[in-house]
Amino acid sequence: MNGAESVLRTLAASGVEVCFANPGTSEMHLVAAMDRVPEVRGILTLFEGVASAAADGYARLAGKPAATLLHLGPGFGNAFANVHNAYKGRTPMVNLVGDHAVLHRPLGAPLTSDVEAIAGPASHWLRSARDAREAAVLAAEAVAVARSGAVATLVLPADAGWDESLGPAAPLSVGGLPTVPEEAVEAAARALRSGKAALLLGGSTTRERGLAAAARIAAGTGAAVVHDTFTPVLSRGGSRPRARLLPYLTELAVDALAGFEQLIVVGTRPPVGFFAYPGKPSLLWSPDSAVTVLATAEEDALTALEAVADLVGAEPEPVEPLARPELPTGGALDLMTLTAAVGALLPDDAVVVDEAVTASALFQEQTGGAGEHDYLFLTGGAIGWGLPAATGAAVGAPGRPVFNFEADGSAMYTIQALWTQAREELDVTTIVVANRSYAILEFEFSRVGAEGDGAAARALMDIGRPELDFAGLARAQGVPGRRVDDVPGLIDALQEAIAEPGPHLIEALV
Amino acid sequence: MNGAESVLRTLAASGVEVCFANPGTSEMHLVAAMDRVPEVRGILTLFEGVASAAADGYARLAGKPAATLLHLGPGFGNAFANVHNAYKGRTPMVNLVGDHAVLHRPLGAPLTSDVEAIAGPASHWLRSARDAREAAVLAAEAVAVARSGAVATLVLPADAGWDESLGPAAPLSVGGLPTVPEEAVEAAARALRSGKAALLLGGSTTRERGLAAAARIAAGTGAAVVHDTFTPVLSRGGSRPRARLLPYLTELAVDALAGFEQLIVVGTRPPVGFFAYPGKPSLLWSPDSAVTVLATAEEDALTALEAVADLVGAEPEPVEPLARPELPTGGALDLMTLTAAVGALLPDDAVVVDEAVTASALFQEQTGGAGEHDYLFLTGGAIGWGLPAATGAAVGAPGRPVFNFEADGSAMYTIQALWTQAREELDVTTIVVANRSYAILEFEFSRVGAEGDGAAARALMDIGRPELDFAGLARAQGVPGRRVDDVPGLIDALQEAIAEPGPHLIEALV
């Protein structure tokens, strides 16, 4: 058995079921091994950035890592932005990066580059196999590391794939996350009892288990429950316990955290601005707040949160579902009617992938009254994540409808993801909010104190010349695409997409 | 004057005229400065990999660097593959990468990453400005370094853009490339006189000046003149002196270099295989050949080559133009008729950007009889370069028709480049060879000794399910697109594209 097959069999034995691939020549032995190891399903993408975001979306839903298969340094470069998003969200992910054969690499062939340097900033774990014998052992380690919430990157020289190996390595047991010390639990409990308090939840704590513990703490102490602006998955809707979104805008986030004497941080970091702005603070909490970190993202935040709830919590009142917005029946198609229609029609048990950028706040608000659903956020801030993350989410959550709220600017980074949606017949509805601009930049332009309103600057934020035809881009890749410019058309398109399985794209002109 | 304006004015003073941009919030002050520094033309791209390849294509034709404007580590990641191609070709390029404000960077905001680590493997020169005062000085240094044939990357924290500066820095004089020592010139001359010799040209030596010197050497010594498989620009066609292409395939390259007692390497490295293959050599020259490196790519290879020609050269015979292929009049549309039609119709003074992968060899052969033209190769081997490089080439060579020979697989990496072609009304004709597969991988699969012919492996090399509609992808971005499946249709589409200025895409089903 060659090294490639031993690696793939190791992944399979360790529970990896899917590999999002964009292979090249140096990965051909891994590709060949796919037929001998059917436990790992290869899914082809047309660009590495699709593969990495798909693996991110998959793992957030499936709760276990997918593999990616990437081609040397440039392949990792193409994947980088979405590996970064996974890295910041601590999504389990195993990247297999083919490289030149060991003795070929020093020769300076065109595709040679320093893979490890490129992969390092987005990998919690990074190793390079020296030979076929070592490859499977490192693959087992990569999966075990990834399963505890990490991006693991394994560089595989081509000859480590084609040379004879010792066969697959046994799965390694996953060492859980470090337990939070009892003192930190007690400190958080004391803080919650000693003044007006807010819990800031992030990482793993914004799903049902964490939200339930936070609700008990809120019932026992009156603490406010707030969640990170970009948490990996927020379980919400129906009668689930709710948390308030920490706003994206520095000013609004500072307002949201003002007046709390105690800020207890769980599964994330003390909150900082997405960007710095001249004259505005980078730290979002009030200088008058005491900050207590109950658990970082690298610790077992869920167990710690439950321990605090056991100390200070009480049984919460049942949660009343919020009202859904009325289904609009007419009027112009604008952000308000668009998001209201989506909120009115979002199916139960949906998965939402939100990269709507300037439209995100309204989508979040208007879908709050929908049935239970999971809401995925852009954890690393690198756009070009939405379409492929939705692709992977649909693979990771079969049977659940996936909705991707997408901005037109960010959609164009990884538009190739639609092809994989069509190829795999995935149940993804992409709603492109077509405002024909990088609206977030027009907004940020003045916020950072940039001066001037000239044509040259505006041109770098205007994507309306020429007009992009997103419905056409979808159809050209095998995805039914519709452009809608009024409310009845939108509702018809949404109802069609909900009724028909498989991918759909709705381009909403607002 | 803030730091951003000082940087932009420094670029302008140093002769940078174009900035291919995909900015974000941290670059807003540079965007604002675009209106105050009209000498630098901002060109918007929808993805950073388009910006970097466009800068590569531009500089190869314009002979001076363009700037790119990129957004933090993920932005450089998206640009990486095509910066790598420029790095390997030693294209002059200045990357401006915005980063968080200096005091914001340690706080771990979502978009924070180690920009320098990512940029390092593809940058000959890499610096990070600490403040607004330093930014312009570093910008001047970046342009000077780039002008000598290098990728220069300057990381600009947001506050180095918005804080007050001391104004622009004066241009730095460009130190030329190091002169090749006289002993190396004499050694090359001796080698050429002492046995059956081949000159291997690369880097800067495959344009008119280098080819003329090589022709004199060939006339004086009988040496064969061969050029690198992937040289940045080959000036060819008409009565220009010719060089033989070193084939891509290891076996054919070894054959091409067999029998030479002397191999003289000029402006490049001793040739190695693109990939390693089990049981095949990585070094392409014969073990019986003596290898003499006249000049590396980092030295003044052109002057050295001319010095050798002065020692051993003679006046060459005039070069007879090769015959163009006959314009096919019927028959099936296949690679042979496609490339023959292109060879028959290629306009004089064209720029060719070749990323046709498996079809490249035929395109190269069939266009050899065309009038004088420049032929651009994929220097770093990272696909997704062709469409955006053609975009930049058209900006860098106004008035010249640009032809992009493109494979369907590689076209999908940076398909967003078409939008910039439409926006800037660039005279680019993209010919997509649609064979619905990663044909190069199907070919390489057996060459690396991968075994099996199963469905799972084949599926990872098949991009025909669903069919991609490239003409539709073009039209959806504002570029006239036509699908042709017979010879008359192809010829009509080619003639239309040649007659009408502006971008066209022809999807050729073969």
- B502: pLDDT strictly greater than 90: yes
Interchain proximity A104–B440, CB inside 8 Å = no
The token pair that represents A392 in the structure block: 């992977």
Q: Which residues of A81-107 are buried (b: 16+ CB within 10 A; e: fewer)?
A: bbbbbbbbbbbbbbbbbbbbbbebbeb
User: Which residue of B113, B273, B274 is in closest CB contact with A122?
Assistant: B113
Give the span between the Cα atoms of A51 and A19, in whole angstroms.
8
* pLDDT band at A442; cut points 50, 70, 90: confident
The range of the structural domain enclosing residue B378 comes to: 335-509
Which pLDDT score, from 0 to 100, does residue B447 have?
84
Contacts of residue A61, Cβ cutoff 8 Å, sequence gap at least 6? A233, A351, A374, A393, A396, A397, A400
The dihedral through the CA atoms of A67, A68, A73, A77 has a sign that is: negative
Query: What strand order describes the sheet that includes A151-157?
Result: A41-44, A18-21, A66-71, A93-99, A151-157, A125-128
Give the span between the Cα atoms of B214 and B208, in whole angstroms.
10
Range B332-338 average pLDDT: 96
Pairing of strands A402-407, A428-434: parallel
* B508 SS3 class: strand
Say if B306 falls within a structural domain: yes
What one-letter code names the amino acid at B189? A
Above pLDDT 90, what percent of chain B?
93
What one-letter code names the amino acid at A201? L
Report pLDDT digits (tens) over B106-142. 999 999 999 999 999 999 999 999 999 999 999 999 9
The backbone torsions φ and ψ at residue A506, rounded to the nearest 5 degrees and listed phi first, read: -115, 120
Which pLDDT score, from 0 to 100, does residue A331 have?
83
Which pLDDT score, from 0 to 100, does residue A178 have?
95
Q: Which residues of A touch B23 (CB under 8 A)?
A: 441, 460
Strand partners, A99: A157
Chain mean pLDDT for chain A = 96
Give the span between the Cα atoms of B338 and A164, in whole angstroms.
43
Report pLDDT digits (tens) over A491-500. 999 999 999 9
Strand partners, A97: A70, A155
A69: enclosing H helix or E strand: strand A66-71
Domain count, chain B: 3
What number of residues does chain A have? 510
Give the span between the Cα atoms of B250 and B238, in whole angstroms.
30
- A445: pLDDT strictly greater than 90: no
Report pLDDT digits (tens) over A364-415. 999 999 999 999 999 999 999 999 999 999 999 999 999 999 999 999 999 9
Nearest to A354, CA basis, from A383, A325, A334: A383
Which pLDDT score, from 0 to 100, does residue B454 have?
85
Chain mean pLDDT for chain B = 96
- A452: pLDDT strictly greater than 80: no
Range A304-309 average pLDDT: 98
- Alpha carbon B227 to its chain centroid, in Å, reads 15
Residue where a domain terminates, one of B253, B279, B312: B312
Range B487-500 average pLDDT: 98
- A100: pLDDT strictly greater than 90: yes
Pairing of strands A428-434, B66-71: unpaired
Q: Are residues A158 and A219 in the same domain?
A: no
User: Which residue of A73, A79, A269 is in closest CB contact with B121?
Assistant: A73
* pLDDT band at A449; cut points 50, 70, 90: confident
DSSP secondary structure string for all residues of A88-148:
HHT--EEEEEEE--TTTGGG--TT---HHHHHGGG-SEEEE--SHHHHHHHHHHHHHHHHT
Are A27 and A69 in contact by the 8 Å Cβ rule? The answer is yes
Interchain proximity A476–B456, CB inside 8 Å = no
User: Which residue of A28, A84, A462 is in closest CB contact with B77?
Assistant: A84
Which pLDDT score, from 0 to 100, does residue B289 have?
96
Searching chain A, which residue's CA lies closest to the CA of residue B383? A74
The token pair that represents A458 in the structure block: 């505006």
Range B68-93 average pLDDT: 98
Max mean pLDDT among A148-162, A448-462, B455-469 falls in A148-162
The token pair that represents A440 in the structure block: 């977030």
> Which CATH number do you get for residue A256?
3.40.50.1220
Residue where a domain terminates, one of A280, A312, A344: A312
Q: Are residues A354 and A232 in the same domain?
A: no
The ipTM, to two decimals, is: 0.97
Q: Are residues A289 and A340 in the same domain?
A: no
Q: Are residues A158 and A186 in the same domain?
A: no
B440: enclosing H helix or E strand: helix B439-447
- The reply to whether omega before B110 is within 30° of 0 (cis) is no
* pLDDT band at B444; cut points 50, 70, 90: confident
The token pair that represents A84 in the structure block: 């970064």
Mutation for testing the A interface, residue in B448, B468, B473 having most A CBs under 10 Å:
B448
Range A311-332 average pLDDT: 95
* pLDDT band at B449; cut points 50, 70, 90: confident
B187: enclosing H helix or E strand: helix B182-193
Nearest to B457, CA basis, from B437, B477, B483: B437
The backbone torsions φ and ψ at residue B91, rounded to the nearest 5 degrees and listed phi first, read: -75, 135
> Which CATH number do you get for residue B158?
3.40.50.970
Query: What strand order describes the sheet that includes B262-266?
Result: B244-245, B224-227, B197-201, B262-266, B290-295
Q: Are residues B114 and B59 in the same domain?
A: yes
Interchain proximity B466–A477, CB inside 8 Å = yes
- Alpha carbon A230 to its chain centroid, in Å, reads 9
Say if B327 falls within a structural domain: no
Which pLDDT score, from 0 to 100, does residue A8 have?
98
Which pLDDT score, from 0 to 100, does residue A166 have?
96
Which pLDDT score, from 0 to 100, does residue A330 have?
84
Give the span between the Cα atoms of B61 and B56, in whole angstroms.
9
Nearest to A28, CA basis, from B443, B253, B138, B397: B443
User: Which residue of B110, B274, B413 is in closest CB contact with A274?
Assistant: B110
Mutation for testing the A interface, residue in B17, B41, B46, B505 having most A CBs under 10 Å:
B46
* B458 SS3 class: helix
Give the span between the Cα atoms of A312 and A217, in whole angstroms.
6
Least confident of A440-444, B9-13, B176-180, B450-454: B450-454
Q: Which residues of A292-320 are buried (b: 16+ CB within 10 A; e: fewer)?
A: bbbbbbebbbbbbbbbbbebbbeeeeeee
Interchain proximity B34–A454, CB inside 8 Å = yes
Which pLDDT score, from 0 to 100, does residue B439 have?
85
Q: Which residues of B touch A457 (CB under 8 A)?
A: 31-32, 34-35
* pLDDT band at A227; cut points 50, 70, 90: very high
Range B221-236 average pLDDT: 98
Q: Are residues A88 and A143 in the same domain?
A: yes
Say if B468 falls within a structural domain: yes
Report pLDDT digits (tens) over A249-269. 999 999 999 999 999 999 999
What number of residues does chain B have? 510
Nearest to B122, CA basis, from A108, A153, A74: A74
Instruction: Find the angle CA(A64)-CA(A67)-CA(A68) to the nearest 5 degrees.
Output: 140
* pLDDT band at A440; cut points 50, 70, 90: confident
Which pLDDT score, from 0 to 100, does residue B115 have?
97
Q: Are residues B339 and B483 in the same domain?
A: yes
Searching chain A, which residue's CA lies closest to the CA of residue B440? A25
Which pLDDT score, from 0 to 100, does residue A437 have?
84
Distance from CA of A471 to the nearest CA of B (A): 8
Which pLDDT score, from 0 to 100, does residue B450 have?
82
The token pair that represents B499 in the structure block: 């007659």
Contacts of residue A92, Cβ cutoff 8 Å, sequence gap at least 6? A59, A64, A65, A146, A147, A148, A149, A150
- A453: pLDDT strictly greater than 80: no
**Please, where are the H alpha helices in A181-288?**
182-193, 208-221, 250-257
Q: Are residues B69 and B154 in the same domain?
A: yes
Say if B381 falls within a structural domain: yes
Interchain proximity A463–B88, CB inside 8 Å = no
Report pLDDT digits (tens) over A277-299. 999 999 999 999 999 999 999 99
- What is the torsion angle, in degrees rounded to the nearest 10, for the CA atoms of residue B464, residue B470, residue B476 and residue B482? -140
- B452: pLDDT strictly greater than 90: no
* pLDDT band at A305; cut points 50, 70, 90: very high
Give the span between the Cα atoms of A205 and A177, in whole angstroms.
14
Any long-range contacts for A60-63 (C-beta under 8 Å, 24+ apart)? A60/A89, A60/A91, A60/A232, A60/A233, A60/A376, A60/A389, A60/A393, A60/A396, A61/A233, A61/A351, A61/A374, A61/A393, A61/A396, A61/A397, A61/A400, A62/A17, A62/A18, A62/A395, A62/A396, A62/A397
Q: Are residues B306 and B434 in the same domain?
A: no
Instruction: Find the angle CA(A280)-CA(A281)-CA(A287) to the nearest 5 degrees.
Output: 135
Say if B442 falls within a structural domain: yes
The token pair that represents A153 in the structure block: 């990157």
Q: Are residues B308 and B378 in the same domain?
A: no
The token pair that represents B411 in the structure block: 């076209």
Which pLDDT score, from 0 to 100, does residue A99 have?
97
Q: Are residues A208 and A155 in the same domain?
A: no
Check residue B322 and give left, alpha or beta (phi > 0: left; psi -120 to 50: alpha).
beta
Say if B45 falls within a structural domain: yes
- Alpha carbon A329 to its chain centroid, in Å, reads 33
Which pLDDT score, from 0 to 100, does residue A216 have?
98
Say if A39 falls within a structural domain: yes
Which pLDDT score, from 0 to 100, does residue B442 have?
85
Say if A280 falls within a structural domain: yes
Q: Are residues B266 and B365 in the same domain?
A: no
Q: Which residues of A touch B463 (CB under 8 A)?
A: 44, 46, 419
- B446: pLDDT strictly greater than 90: no
Residue where a domain terminates, one of B278, B312, B346: B312
* pLDDT band at A432; cut points 50, 70, 90: very high
Mutation for testing the B interface, residue in A35, A68, A100, A229 having most B CBs under 10 Å:
A35
